[in-house]
Amino acid sequence: MDKNHAQENNQTILLDQFYYENWTIRQLAKRVHTNECYLKKDFKTLTGMTIGDYRKHKRMQQAVILLKQGVTTPDIANQLGFNSHDYFLKTFVKFYQCQPRDYQHMQNNQNQPQPSSL
């Protein structure tokens, strides 16, 4: 594996493990030993998403898992690093086109909504 491929893998591994933290691009670039411009460009090439969209996607995937476990939405917002419960709700609705409680109801009826395209 070449150095660039290893660096790209480190970027996604870090975001997969720490999606709930609010890292800046500068902090992430420093952590993977590259500059901010290369980080953003390489990450988008690797994943097809911006770093922010990737983090949001990971958080929404985890939110669904936590909802299925019966965790309350304020606790989910807190665990996933959202600045507020309201922002979590807005993000969830934008991503799934429904409220978390509606998602839970549909999930119980096996009619799950699909995420919107970012």
**Which ranges of the chain would DSSP assign to H, the alpha helix?**
3-17, 25-31, 36-47, 51-68, 73-79, 85-96, 100-108
Fold annotation for 55-108: Arc Repressor Mutant, subunit A (1.10.10)
Q: Which residue type sits at 63?
A: A
pLDDT at 118: 54
Q: Are 47 and 54 in contact (CB under 8 A)?
A: yes
Q: Write down the pLDDT at residue 109.
A: 77
Domain ranges for the chain: 3-48, 55-108
- Per-residue pLDDT reduced to its tens digit, 24-69: 889 888 888 889 998 899 889 888 999 889 889 999 999 999 999 9
CA torsion 53-58-63-68 (nearest 10°) is 140
